[in-house]
């Protein structure tokens, strides 16, 4: 979500150099939110034909190393988004300009109008995700009760509310929900608890040991320098 990229390379099938993360490390939990209705647009986003994490192979191998370190602490990664087709980015842009603000949408951006999210740096018109070198993720405590499920009929509090009031994510409490467009979601935000700060710091430090760099406005967003390249637009399909 940081830098602009070249025009997307059109491709109907996965190009060489990309892999399904499950093929490299199946123990990593996946909750690919843009393939479902559990996201800020309230519906599956264009290009997400399956809830699969697709990344550059180099990125996948680094995530495997992160997972191996976490496993020794009874923790796991949980992936929210990986490669993002350029058509999905275009879908997000169109959504931001449709002139409507529903209550469900406001849960993700309680302080800003959605038309301002691109200008403020919470969504990018040219996403690093489309290169296969950026990922959105969190930590799961495998010893905790992670059974809470998202109920689309539930009137949850917004993404900055205490964990018990906002939509469940089956992960550790990082102080906000995923995709929360708010200053509280900035990685070094001061208005979170000491425990939430420790979890964020732990995630950033663990990812950094494998070369990943965090985006300061989103505690969940990491990229691997040097692994990018052109943006792509091939759709995400099921692993066969």
Summarize pLDDT for 10-62 with one digit per residue, the tens.
Answer: 667 899 999 999 999 999 999 999 999 999 999 999 999 999 999 999 999 99
Cα dihedral 23, 78, 104, 115 in deg (nearest 10):
-80
Range from 1-10, 111-120, 185-194 that averages highest in pLDDT: 185-194
178 lies in some domain: yes
In a domain? residue 238: no
pLDDT tens track for 155-213 = 999 999 999 999 999 999 999 999 999 999 999 999 999 999 999 999 999 999 999 99
Segments in 38-158 forming alpha helices (H)? 57-71, 86-96, 103-106
Q: 7 lies in a domain?
A: no
Domains in the chain, number = 1
DSSP, collapsed to helix, strand or coil, labels residue 84 as coil
**115 found inside a domain:** yes
Whether residue 163 lies inside any domain: the answer is yes
Largest CA distance in the chain: 48
pTM: 0.94
| Residue 4, domain member (yes or no) | no
Full domain range(s) for residue 146: 18-223
> How far apart are alpha carbons 182 and 40 in whole angstroms?
13
Residue 232 is classified by DSSP as: B
218 phi and psi, to 5 degrees? Answer: -145, 110
Report pLDDT for 120: 87
Say how many C-beta atoms besides its own lie within 10 A of residue 176's C-beta.
26
Main-chain dihedrals φ then ψ at residue 215, nearest 5 degrees: -90, 125
Q: How confident is the model at residue 124 (pLDDT cuts 50, 70, 90)?
A: confident
CA dist 56 and 230 (Å) reads 12
DSSP code of 190? S
| Integer CA distances (angstroms), 165 to 4, 52, 168, 171, 196, in order | 36, 28, 8, 14, 16
Rounded alpha-carbon distances, angstroms, from residue 222 to 46, 59, 112: 22, 11, 23
**Domain contains 177:** yes
Give the CA distances from residue 20 to residues 16, 30, 58, 238, in Å, rounded to whole numbers and listed in that order. Answer: 12, 11, 12, 9
Structure tokens at 216: 């300061």
Query: What is the structure's pLDDT at 7?
Result: 59
Answer yes or no: is 231 within a domain.
no
CATH number, domain with residue 201? 3.30.1380.10
DSSP designation for 115: G
């Amino acid at each position: 979500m940081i830098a602009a990229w070249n025009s997307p390379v059109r491709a109907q099938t996965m190009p060489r150099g990309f892999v399904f993360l499950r093929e490299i490390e199946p123990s990593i939990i996946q909750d690919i939110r843009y393939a479902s209705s559990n996201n800020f647009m309230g519906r599956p986003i264009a290009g997400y034909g399956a809830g699969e994490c697709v990344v550059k192979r180099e990125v996948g191998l680094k995530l495997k190393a992160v997972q191996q370190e976490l496993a020794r602490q009874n923790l796991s990664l949980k992936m929210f988004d990986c490669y993002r087709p350029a058509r999905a980015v275009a879908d997000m842009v169109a959504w931001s300009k449709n002139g409507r603000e529903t209550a469900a949408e406001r849960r993700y951006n309680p302080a800003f109008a959605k038309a301002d999210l691109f200008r403020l740096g919470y969504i990018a018109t040219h996403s690093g995700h489309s290169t296969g070198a950026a990922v959105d993720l969190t930590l799961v405590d495998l010893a905790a009760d992670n059974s809470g499920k998202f109920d689309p009929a539930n009137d949850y509090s917004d993404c900055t509310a205490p964990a018990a009031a906002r939509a469940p994510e089956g992960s550790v409490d990082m102080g906000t929900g995923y995709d929360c467009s708010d200053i509280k979601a900035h990685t070094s935000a001061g208005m979170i608890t000491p425990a939430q700060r420790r979890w964020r710091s732990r995630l950033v430090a663990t990812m950094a040991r494998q070369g990943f760099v965090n985006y300061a406005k989103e505690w969940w967003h990491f990229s691997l320098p040097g692994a990018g390249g052109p943006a792509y637009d091939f759709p995400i399909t099921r692993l066969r």
